[in-house]
């Protein structure tokens, strides 16, 4: 699923994503698998940690709303690393 579709399907949520398809040249993800969607930020952090513990690679939290996001800097950095093809 593309990020634009995820924003439409899961409005005002914290969505736990993992890369599904990558671009062959840039190594950036093109599509993502939705692992879970959460309403509360604490629930999203717990869900992300669960999937990382299960061995799913490239897991990150993607908020589908604008505004302040109560995340740790590591979580925001992780999201951008995955989106830019660094992981």
pLDDT per residue as tens digits for the range 57-84: 999 999 998 877 777 888 888 888 898 9
15 DSSP assignment? E
Smallest CA-to-CA distance from 64 within 20, 18, 5, 21 is with 5
Residue 71 phi/psi, 5-degree rounding, is -110, 160
3-state secondary structure of 60: strand
- pLDDT tens digits along 7-56: 999 999 999 999 999 999 998 999 999 999 999 989 999 999 999 999 99
Give the number of residues written for the chain: 87
Distance, in Å, from the CA atom of 87 to the CA atom of 67, rounded to the nearest integer, reads 26
| The overall pTM is greater than 0.95 | no
């Amino acid at each position: 699923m593309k990020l634009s579709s995820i924003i439409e399907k899961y409005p005002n949520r914290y969505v736990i994503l993992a890369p599904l398809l990558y671009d062959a040249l840039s190594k950036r993800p093109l599509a993502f698998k939705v692992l879970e969607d959460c309403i509360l930020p604490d629930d999203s952090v717990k869900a992300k940690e669960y999937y990382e513990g299960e061995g799913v690679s490239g897991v990150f939290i993607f908020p589908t709303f604008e505004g302040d996001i109560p995340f740790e800097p590591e979580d925001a950095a992780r999201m951008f690393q995955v989106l830019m093809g660094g992981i």
